[in-house]
Structure 1
Amino acid sequence: MARILFHCVLFCFAFVFGQKDDNIITQTPSGRFVGSLMTSRRGRPIHAYRGIRYAQPPVGEMRFQPPVPIKHYKHVVNATAEGPACPQPAPGYLLDEDCLRLNVYTPGRLGNGSLPVLVYIHAGGFYSVSGRSDVAGPQHLLDKDLVLVTINYRLGSLGFLSTGDIHAPGNNGFKDQVVALHWVRDNIASFGGDANCVTLAGYSAGGVSVALHTVSPMSRGLFHRALSMSGSPYSQIPFHSNLLSLAVKQARLVNCSVSSTAELVECLRTVPWRVLGYSLKGFQEFSIDPILIWTPVIEGDFGQERFLPEHPLEIIRAGKLYSVPYIVSQTRDEFFWEAFLVLNNSIYRTLINEDYYKVAPSAFLLPSPSDLSAKALRREYLGDRDLGNTDIDYVDLGKLYGDAVIGFGAHRLANLLAHNNKEPTYYYEFDYIGNQSHYVDPTTGKPTGVAHHDELIYLFSLPAGFEPIPVSDSRDSFMVDKLTDIFYNFARTGNPNSLLDDKPVTWPPIHPSNRKYLRIGDHFSVHTNLFEHRFRVWEHLYPIEYII
């Protein structure tokens, strides 16, 4: 009788959620999920489960509170469509404060709990983007035998408000990520994934997040390999115990009282989420800078579970780094395109020339006091000259932007891991210019450098902004195949090498005395000391002990 009822239930779900052939159903320890069919780039079937809530909606009194996990679903979950992105300034995009969702993509044939799992934390500076399939689609990676999970986490003030006291200790966006990892641990075997073979990967803000999970006591044991692409928490940017100045700025932008932190937080709890999400421009100080606004905080103990209870370097010094095989990367040019925004605008160009010491902290993310470091960086990168709109000015200012925002941090992360990670750490430079890019010349419409985010074009399908890459003998098609090879093999074995290339290139781990890295371009090649001639000035200005 129970068997008859089960088949009846399956038929009813198929009827309600679409044609029976278009839906699939998975039963997990937490509940039953109805998904849909997609197709990979090479025509393989994908079982897609999208828009799954992994935590209670963080709304009302739960705004600015730690996430509350969903451990059991009382009703069948319709996971056939995308959930909303978290609040951000994105007109026309599906947004909602009830955004703690994840997507699961599995090969058409399940692996009986044996497939490697890749959990992806999206980019966006902690204030934009999402894990939705239009910006992190599975069509490239699901040509491999792995399970892909993409997640949302709260953004901006909704995710990272910190007053440094009991009213808003901070780091809720990171705690969202932890709850998503718990969901993966508890449920992924039912989707064919191996809960003991989870790779945590992230880009930019996501890469920062991944590195922090290796020092957070909340994340320990929830993943087994790590991958930080163009993102690192270790740079010239200091760690603080609160972001009170940002909380006050947010409150003033929406006319909330700042007479006490209690009143501030309570008032912000009543502001419509769309107003908070759309207030981002109020945090900009020069051009689109600062490109990074909200950062992780070292949480005081107010009785809450703390994502970051002490400075990450102190955690490493205490021998508490969670050592796993790790890949660190940066692109060749990163944020070079910000130089065009500044130098092609007469107002910004005048400001950076005549008021350099005022705009440099915002533009190059320099901590206070900043005049001495700003002066040293101007001398090193720009030769103390005034900038115009010449080719050499674009190149030099672009390098300063790229190193300030991403490059130096990636260098520091790779070297910290080289000294302290007990597992191998691999380092690469993405040096490939294909037919598409996150920055193209406005006149020619063609890429002019290797921009921040560019390898995502080959790892994921990105229909929100890019044309699909067809299967062919083109350079771009080759890059899709090779980059997904690297990620798949690393997820499977912790070593990216055996599927690396048709040619006998061996990508060695980085070591303190032999700092090798892989250059990924039209050809793969191994080199040493990535951009270290430029990073010497940063190391002098912001020194740390790498052996800690």
Structure 2
Amino acid sequence: MLKIYSLLSTLLLISAITAEDPIVELSLGKIQGSILQSFQGNTIYAFRGIRYAQAPVGQLRFTNPVPESSWGDEVLKATTDSLVCPQPGIALFMSEDCLKLNVFTKNLEAQLPVIVYIHGGANVLGSGHSIYEAGPQYLLDHDVVFVAFNYRLGALGFLSPNSSETRGNFGYLDQVMALQWVRDHISHFGGDPDMVTLLGMSAGSMAVSLHLASPLSAGLFHRAILMSGSATNHYAIDNLFWTRKLARELGCPLYDPSDLVECLRNENWTRIVEICKAWETYQFVNMKWNYEIDGHFLSRHPTVLIEEGNFNRVPLLVSYTANELDYTANVHLENEPLLHDLGSNFVEYAPELFLYNQDANIGHRLKDFYLGKNVTKISEENIKNFGEIFSDAIIGHGVHRLVDLARSFTPVFHLRTNYIGERSVSAALDENKKPLGVGHADDLQYVMPGLWYGTLLPEGHSDIFMMKRFTSWFAHFAKAGTPLNNTDNWPACNSTNLKMLYNGVETQVGLPGYADRYAVWDELFPTPPRSGGAAWQVSLAAVLAAGVMGILM
């Protein structure tokens, strides 16, 4: 991690070219940017580190975001990325004063489609940083404006003490404010505020599905690209439980919301992050902090709203990868006691691992389907089957359900990436050091370069064709609402048609994959969902004893 941040700092220093820096004037004041180069050498006007909301510190911690005010006659220097929001990592590169965004454009006088990126990271990690995660070099070879931003994470973004004054969803409300900023100001950067596409990865994709369902986001975007995530799943998450667990470990009041929040406002953010990070003991893919049905950002469960057609009906491009989280448990191949315990006590572990209410029948059904009735140990022979449960529970089934529910109301272009490139974030490697599959976020490396998911492809790299394919699809979708000129080659799903594009070396259209697997989840978790996003009630002692949780990137 130290090496990554050291490289990040070095790249920031050399990123600006010595041409005259561009200046734009907003209603808030003047902004000075810098000049970068796209993958193909085109000039990019880069404006980085623009504050879209006031710093959420002091009494603004655990409150809804407050818009940034005018900075007067001073010219704001927006030539480097801001510090990222607090998260596990090196505190030197983080700050609570992180509600800032980046804008990249090729033409300040144009009216181009806008792509706004919402990063992933299980709502506890990630950023819109141009070097770390969200580089503009690929997309800016097309005629689009690209925006990426930070939002509050973890307890700082999703704390919920069960109070009408502090209702949670702060991270999602940050996103709404960033979209409002885009609506109000993007025309000064050559972007069309009436042609905005949301692009989300993983937890960011889940966020996009929430913006589909939220009345606060209506009119702020006009298309949506969802990569490997949707809130139309069975998740049973209890932000109140984790809020009280955090309060207990910091010696704060547990039950009176005002007392609890006031105590946590007096804690250093590094301590809050440190406490929450200590809960991640087994490195399994999972999720704690998430949305609240608060009557403000969300009126009801997103699955119910989308099933009824009560959502922002924009064209959708919904994708996932062939192997998502299949390899998530491989890190424990040498830990035989843990793997044996997972196999022999699967039913007891499953609710925490796969985020559902305690129900032994569900655990037995999942074990029998994925592992077999007589299995008592997870081993090298069946660990991929075990990983497939994570793929389907955390990502695949929610994506499947979103496509199935939304297609009756809006065109949905469905995509699965099967192409195995030279690099992977999570897939196991063969004897030639090549990935065995297409893991979670492996497709993001073809959309934007970054230190986390895949650095800039070198000239002549064998995966460049896939980068050009993805970015041309996304840019065309941002402009026209379809990824291709000829929709015969990639038909949209609608009320009478359900097809998927399989993206390998070549592409082909067929019926959606993994139908037998997703049918099990449809059976176990029928719509409407049984929880409202905060229904898994377990004792503090039980979670302290188990401690099973990981990171969704």
Pair in the same fold by TM > 0.5: yes
For residues 47 and 249 of structure 1, what CA distance do their matches in structure 2 show?
45
Deviation digits for residues 444-492 of structure 1 (CA, Å, limit 9, x no counterpart): 54322111111111100113463421343x5301001111000000001
Paired position in structure 2 for 1:100: 99
Distance 1:332 1:440, change over 3 A: closer
For residues 217 and 440 of structure 1, what CA distance do their matches in structure 2 show?
38
CA contact (8 A) 2:86 2:95 kept: yes
Paired position in structure 2 for 1:23: 21
Please list, as runs of the form range in 1=range in 2, the aligned pairs for 1:369-380 lying within 5 A after superposition. 369-380=358-369
For residues 307 and 472 of structure 2, what CA distance do their matches in structure 1 show?
35
Amino acid at match of 2:87: Q
CA contact (8 A) 2:327 2:384 kept: no
For residues 361 and 317 of structure 1, what CA distance do their matches in structure 2 show?
25
CA contact (8 A) 2:22 2:45 kept: yes
Paired position in structure 2 for 1:79: 78
CA contact (8 A) 2:326 2:388 kept: yes
CA contact (8 A) 2:498 2:512 kept: yes
Q: Indicate yes or no: 2:474 matched with 1:460.
A: no
Paired position in structure 2 for 1:4: none
For residues 338 and 440 of structure 1, what CA distance do their matches in structure 2 show?
8
For residues 171 and 124 of structure 2, what CA distance do their matches in structure 1 show?
10
CA contact (8 A) 2:303 2:527 kept: no
Amino acid at match of 1:383: G
SS in structure 1 at match of 2:33: strand
For residues 284 and 405 of structure 1, what CA distance do their matches in structure 2 show?
17
Paired position in structure 2 for 1:67: 65
Amino acid at match of 2:252: C
1:442 Cα deviation after fit: 6.6
Distance 1:491 1:237, change over 3 A: same
Paired position in structure 2 for 1:326: 316
Residue 514 of structure 1: which of 497, 505, 517 is its match? Answer: 497
Please list, as runs of the form range in 1=range in 2, the aligned pairs for 1:155-234 lying within 5 A after superposition. 155-234=153-232
CA contact (8 A) 2:152 2:174 kept: yes
Calculate percent identity across the aligned residue pairs.
Answer: 38
Deviation digits for residues 221-264 of structure 1 (CA, Å, limit 9, x no counterpart): 001001111010011214x7x62111011112323221422221
For residues 493 and 184 of structure 2, what CA distance do their matches in structure 1 show?
34
1:284 Cα deviation after fit: 3.1
1:158 Cα deviation after fit: 0.3
Deviation digits for residues 45-73 of structure 1 (CA, Å, limit 9, x no counterpart): 11111111100000000000000011433
Deviation digits for residues 76-114 of structure 1 (CA, Å, limit 9, x no counterpart): 21100110111001126611111101000001x3342x1
Distance 1:347 1:281, change over 3 A: farther
Amino acid at match of 1:459: V
Paired position in structure 2 for 1:265: 261
CA contact (8 A) 1:203 1:453 kept: yes
1:314 Cα deviation after fit: 4.3
Deviation digits for residues 307-365 of structure 1 (CA, Å, limit 9, x no counterpart): 11223344346643110011111110111121212443223202202322222112222
SS in structure 2 at match of 1:165: coil
SS in structure 2 at match of 1:104: strand
Distance 1:98 1:294, change over 3 A: same
CA contact (8 A) 2:285 2:390 kept: no
Distance 1:341 1:499, change over 3 A: farther
Q: Which moved more, 1:53-62 or 1:166-175?
A: 166-175
Runs of 4+, deviation exceeding 6 Å = none
Paired position in structure 1 for 2:419: 432
Q: Which moved more, 1:434-443 or 1:485-494?
A: 434-443
For residues 105 and 30 of structure 1, what CA distance do their matches in structure 2 show?
19
SS in structure 2 at match of 1:507: coil
Distance 1:86 1:515, change over 3 A: same
Paired position in structure 1 for 2:124: 127
Amino acid at match of 2:53: A
Paired position in structure 2 for 1:9: none
Residue 536 of structure 1: which of 498, 512, 519 is its match? Answer: 519
For residues 522 and 462 of structure 1, what CA distance do their matches in structure 2 show?
23
RMSD of Structure 2 on Structure 1 (CA): 2.2
Amino acid at match of 2:135: G
Q: Which moved more, 1:381-390 or 1:131-140?
A: 381-390
For residues 516 and 495 of structure 2, what CA distance do their matches in structure 1 show?
16
CA contact (8 A) 2:441 2:453 kept: no
Q: Indicate yes or no: 2:387 matched with 1:398.
A: yes
Paired position in structure 2 for 1:293: 288
Amino acid at match of 2:31: F
Deviation digits for residues 282-317 of structure 1 (CA, Å, limit 9, x no counterpart): 3336x22462111111115xxxxx111223344346
Distance 1:35 1:160, change over 3 A: same
Amino acid at match of 1:98: D
CA contact (8 A) 2:285 2:328 kept: no
Distance 1:402 1:313, change over 3 A: closer
Deviation digits for residues 383-410 of structure 1 (CA, Å, limit 9, x no counterpart): 121234334x122112111111111111
Distance 1:394 1:84, change over 3 A: same
SS in structure 2 at match of 1:23: coil
Q: Indicate yes or no: 2:402 matched with 1:413.
A: yes
For residues 288 and 263 of structure 1, what CA distance do their matches in structure 2 show?
33
Residue 36 of structure 1: which of 26, 34, 40 is its match? Answer: 34
SS in structure 2 at match of 1:117: strand
Distance 1:61 1:170, change over 3 A: same
Q: Which moved more, 1:225-234 or 1:92-101?
A: 92-101
CA contact (8 A) 2:83 2:93 kept: yes
1:411 Cα deviation after fit: 0.4
Paired position in structure 2 for 1:6: none
Distance 1:434 1:235, change over 3 A: same
CA contact (8 A) 2:56 2:63 kept: yes
Q: Which moved more, 1:63-72 or 1:145-154?
A: 63-72
Amino acid at match of 2:484: N
Residue 347 of structure 1: which of 324, 337, 345 is its match? Answer: 337
SS in structure 1 at match of 2:45: strand
Distance 1:389 1:289, change over 3 A: closer
For residues 443 and 319 of structure 1, what CA distance do their matches in structure 2 show?
45
Note the residue ranges of structure 1 that are not aligned, 5 or more in a row. Answer: 1-17, 301-305
Equivalent residue pairs, number: 511
Distance 1:259 1:511, change over 3 A: closer
Amino acid at match of 2:468: D
CA contact (8 A) 2:416 2:500 kept: yes
1:170 Cα deviation after fit: 1.0
Amino acid at match of 2:175: Q
CA contact (8 A) 1:336 1:398 kept: yes
Q: Which moved more, 1:154-163 or 1:460-469?
A: 460-469
Paired position in structure 2 for 1:7: none
TM-score scaled to structure 1, two decimals?
0.89
CA contact (8 A) 1:29 1:186 kept: no
TM-score scaled to structure 2, two decimals?
0.88
Distance 1:344 1:338, change over 3 A: farther
